[in-house]
């Protein structure tokens, strides 16, 4: 419909009249705009609340870590000799420590070469095989070479290989290839300033006597004459640094040896980093004490975290008496409920803590009149001095067992706090294979060659591995057992499956025993291929050994499913998901486990509920968004109605304007005609 200029015929300001009428008609839209603005403000407030709750959860989750409340600190009286750090398993006390020797890595170097970049050998593809093991006996000469020594493989390390060919058969090329392979050996080149100055130096990455190098070279003879090294045989490089264990004397106990200068298992729960050998007979005091500073800061952080979220909740729901205005979420039931639930948690008692404390007030944490928390540092210190280890149960999920050979491992969201009886009916066992008698018997020796060096074994019912032993003469059953173990554990497929074994030699029965490192029904040793000579010499046969056994027992009176050494609380029971490790001991009643859930742990789970998809925050924001969408629909409907009303008004006023115009024209005509009638006068 064409636009019509109104007011022409009547002289009225019709556009203004219509505009004012439409303004009146728009009042419901103004109300909707105000309503939407309120909803948008609430939506923003809930966004603030959601962000605050998310930050709150992140912090309390970190504060639920038991290590924050039970760590002990360790300090050395002379940090130039060693440094120390403690953990939750450490015990307070003082120890006299003497560093008798530092651990060293085995190091060898080649004969000098005139050039570091000239080719060595013909470039034939050559394999360097690196082994790690122990050099024993014999005599080390002034030339850095042994006579009469033996070499025993480290059973926990596999062989590593590096290929040298025409692309890298220079001293620098060999160095770069070894370093790039990352096999636990570091290669460097030293220039000694002589006529043939360049020497390749090879060092084991790991310290300790069990990590001495052995290098076999298969391929180019020139490379073999440069690199082949076996302390019990050919030694083309010379030893420049003896592999050595660290040696300690602790509280008068001598001969403590460790492969590394980082020592974690001499003083319980303490890590020693050895830096320098002590003066002969001089000890350095190690002090292990409670880390009260970390514990106090954790309690302070917990209080601050609560106060922060409480302030956010209070600000969002507050009423200002001065301005007589309420905050956007004043009276909001969901927000007030969240605040109340958090406060209720902190006012509750920790059930089954198994310790001296069950309430925050007992360690000096209490509410103030304004609803915030405060810490009484004197009362907290008193609680720390009296029962340091029990404070953790107020904040973390903690399981305490009465039997030292049963340990709490973990729990799930379905595990309820409580004290539960534990019984063990079956102890876990590892799968093993007992070989038959070895021929010939040790001593004197057994030669492994191409006729008896291969077998195929499957570990833990996972992946089969074809094993090829290093050929040679083994003079002891222990040395051959170490070789078998190293080759099995070094298989890449078995490593990927986390399958490993221990191999031992029983001299009384003259047999090898292969034992899985896993516990339970999944623990198996199966030989799937063994030729006749290997069977005769090693005592292996195509069969499955004795299968492992899962632990079995009850927790809280219900049969607990066993998995390896672990018992797990039954589904539907209060102990559901409670995981305990049975390390040993006897069958029968094994005491109790007291499982408690501290305040930080509970608040973390409570925040989970608040922030869940169906939780109060998302449910409320979903409702607000739905209301905003409804307003949008109402606005669209009203806008359409206004357009229709305006169109109708314009049509009506246009028609009226035309009519008035016609009437005015008629009036003008009649006036003119009347003026012309006889007898009419203008006077």
* Listed residue (386, 534, 399, 408) closest to 471, CA to CA: 534
Interatomic CA distance for residues 103 and 513, integer angstroms: 32
Q: Is the peptide bond before 440 cis (omega within 30 degrees of 0)?
A: yes
Per-residue pLDDT, 3 = 44
Report CA-CA distances (Å) from 174 to 188, 360, 453: 10, 65, 30
Residue length of the chain: 683
> CA geometry: angle at 619 spanning 615 and 624, to 5°?
155
The span from the CA of 393 to the CA of 599, in Å, is 9
What is the phi/psi pair of residue 91, to 5°? -120, 135
Q: Which structure tokens are listed for 521?
A: 């029904």
pLDDT of residue 244: 97
Secondary structure of residue 268 in the 3-state scheme:
coil
Angstrom distance (rounded) from CA 194 to CA 88: 56
Q: In what order do the strands lie in the sheet with 238-241?
A: 185-191, 198-204, 107-109, 238-241
The backbone torsions φ and ψ at residue 227, rounded to the nearest 5 degrees and listed phi first, read: -115, -20
Kindly state the greatest CA–CA separation across the chain.
165
Crossing angle for the helix pair 377-387 and 292-317, to the nearest 10 degrees: 140
First to last CA, the chain: 49
Task: Give phi and psi for 546, each to the nearest 5.
Answer: -75, 125
Cα distance between residue 477 and residue 437, in whole Å: 12
CA distance 93 to 385: 15
> 27-63 and 292-317 are packed helices; what angle lies between their axes, rounded to 10 degrees?
170
Residue pair 527/457 in contact (Cβ under 8 Å)? The answer is yes
Averaged pLDDT in 10-residue chunks for the chain of 683 residues: 51 73 74 80 89 92 89 95 93 96 98 96 95 94 95 88 96 98 97 96 97 96 97 96 97 96 96 97 96 93 95 90 85 92 94 85 94 95 92 92 95 94 98 89 87 95 89 88 91 91 93 96 96 92 96 98 97 97 97 95 94 90 86 79 76 75 77 78 50
Backbone angles phi, psi at 647, to 5 degrees: -65, -40
How deeply is 451 buried, as exposed, middle or buried, from its count of CB atoms within 10 A (0-12, 13-18, 19+)? Answer: middle
CB within 8 Å of 428: residues ≥ 6 apart: 519, 520, 548, 549, 550, 551, 562, 564, 565, 582
How far is residue 499's CA from residue 491's CA, in Å, rounded to a whole number? Answer: 10
* Token output for 304: 């601050």
Task: Report the alpha-carbon distance of residue 48 to residue 316 in Å, rounded.
Answer: 9
DSSP lists the bridge partners of residue 366 as 374
Contacts of 533 (CB under 8 A, 6+ apart): 451, 452
Q: Which residues contact 559 (CB under 8 A, 6 or more apart)?
A: 552, 553, 570
- DSSP 8-state symbol, 210: G
Domain formed by 430-544, architecture: Sandwich (2.60)
**Long-range contact set of residues 54-58: C-beta below 8 Å, sequence gap at least 24:** 54/607, 54/611, 55/308, 56/305, 56/308, 56/309, 56/603, 56/607, 57/603, 57/604, 57/607, 57/608, 57/611
Distance CA 367, CA 360 (A): 10
**pLDDT value for 8:** 56
Handedness of CA 552, 555, 559, 561 (dihedral sign): negative
CATH topology of domain 107-244: Immunoglobulin-like (2.60.40)
Is residue 409 a contact partner of residue 579, using CB atoms and an 8 Å limit? yes
Could you give the C-alpha distances from 365 to 225, 373, 375, 395, in angstroms and in order?
74, 7, 5, 12
**Helix residue spans in 421-515 (DSSP H):** 477-489, 492-496
Which of 446, 448, 447, 468 shows the shortest CA–CA distance to 456? 468
Question: What are the φ/ψ torsions at residue 70 (nearest 5 degrees)?
Answer: -125, 0
Q: Name 550's Cβ contacts closer than 8 Å, sequence gap at least 6.
A: 426, 428, 519, 520, 521, 562, 563, 564
Distance CA 461, CA 467 (A): 16
């Amino acid at each position: 419909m064409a636009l019509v200029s109104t007011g022409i015929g009547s002289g009225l300001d019709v556009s203004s009249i219509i505009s004012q009428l439409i303004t009146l008609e728009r009042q419901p839209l103004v109300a909707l705009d105000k309503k939407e603005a309120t909803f948008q403000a609430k939506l923003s407030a809930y966004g603030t609340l959601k962000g605050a709750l998310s930050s709150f959860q992140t912090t309390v989750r970190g504060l639920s870590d038991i290590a924050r409340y039970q760590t002990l600190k360790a300090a050395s009286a002379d940090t130039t000799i060693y440094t120390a750090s403690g953990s939750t398993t450490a015990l307070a006390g003082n120890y006299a420590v003497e560093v008798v020797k530092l651990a060293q890595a085995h190091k060898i170097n080649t004969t000098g070469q005139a050039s570091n970049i000239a080719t060595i050998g013909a470039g034939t593809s050559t394999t360097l095989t690196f082994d790690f093991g122990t050099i024993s006996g014999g005599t080390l000469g002034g030339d850095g070479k042994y006579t009469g020594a033996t070499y025993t493989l480290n059973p926990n390390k596999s062989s590593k290989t590096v290929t040298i060919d025409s692309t890298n058969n220079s001293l620098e090329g060999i160095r770069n290839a070894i370093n790039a392979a990352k096999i636990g050996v570091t290669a460097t080149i030293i220039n000694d300033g002589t006529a043939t100055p360049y020497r390749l130096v090879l060092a084991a990455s790991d310290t300790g006597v069990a990590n001495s190098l052995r290098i076999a070279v298969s391929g180019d003879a020139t490379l073999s004459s440069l690199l082949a090294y076996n302390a019990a045989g050919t030694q083309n490089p010379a030893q420049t640094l003896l592999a050595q264990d660290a040696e300690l004397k602790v509280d008068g106990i001598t001969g403590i040896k460790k492969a590394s200068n980082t020592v974690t298992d001499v003083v319980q729960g303490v890590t020693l980093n050895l830096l320098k050998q002590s003066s002969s007979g001089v000890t350095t005091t190690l002090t292990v004490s409670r880390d009260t500073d970390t514990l106090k800061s954790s309690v302070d952080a917990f209080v601050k975290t609560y106060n922060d979220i409480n302030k956010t909740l209070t600000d969002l729901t507050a009423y200002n008496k001065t301005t007589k205005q309420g905050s956007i979420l004043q009276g909001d039931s969901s927000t007030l409920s969240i605040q109340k639930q958090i406060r209720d948690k902190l006012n509750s008692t920790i059930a089954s803590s198994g310790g001296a404390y069950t309430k925050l007030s007992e360690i000096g944490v209490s509410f103030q009149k304004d609803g915030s928390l405060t810490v009484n540092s004197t009362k907290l210190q008193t609680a720390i001095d009296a029962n340091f280890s029990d404070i953790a149960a107020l904040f973390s999920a903690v399981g305490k067992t009465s039997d030292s050979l049963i340990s709490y491992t973990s729990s799930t969201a379905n595990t309820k706090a409580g004290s539960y009886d534990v019984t063990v009916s079956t102890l876990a066992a590892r799968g093993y294979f007992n070989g038959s008698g070895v021929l010939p018997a040790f001593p004197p020796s057994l030669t492994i060659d191409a006729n008896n060096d291969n077998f195929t074994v499957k570990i833990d019912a996972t992946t089969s591995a074809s094993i090829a032993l290093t050929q040679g003469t083994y003079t002891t059953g222990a040395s051959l057992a170490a070789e078998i173990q190293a080759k099995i554990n070094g298989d890449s497929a078995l490593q990927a499956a986390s399958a490993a074994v221990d191999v031992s030699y029983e001299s009384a029965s003259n047999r090898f025993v292969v034992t899985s490192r896993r516990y339970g029904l999944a623990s198996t040793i199966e030989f799937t291929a063994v030729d006749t000579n290997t069977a005769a010499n090693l005592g292996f046969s195509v069969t499955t050994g004795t299968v492992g056994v899962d632990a079995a027992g009850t927790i809280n009176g219900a049969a607990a499913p066993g998995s390896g050494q672990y018992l797990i609380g039954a589904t539907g029971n209060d102990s559901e998901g409670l995981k305990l490790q049975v390390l040993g001991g006897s069958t029968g009643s094994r005491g109790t486990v007291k499982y408690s859930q501290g305040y930080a742990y509970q608040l973390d789970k409570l925040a989970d509920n608040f922030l869940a998809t169906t939780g109060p925050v998302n449910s409320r924001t979903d409702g607000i968004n739905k209301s905003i969408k409804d307003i949008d629909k109402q606005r669209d409907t009203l806008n359409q109605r206004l357009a229709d009303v305006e169109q109708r008004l314009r049509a009506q006023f246009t028609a009226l304007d035309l009519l008035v115009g016609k009437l005015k024209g008629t009036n003008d005509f009649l006036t003119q005609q009347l003026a012309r009638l006889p007898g009419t006068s203008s006077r």
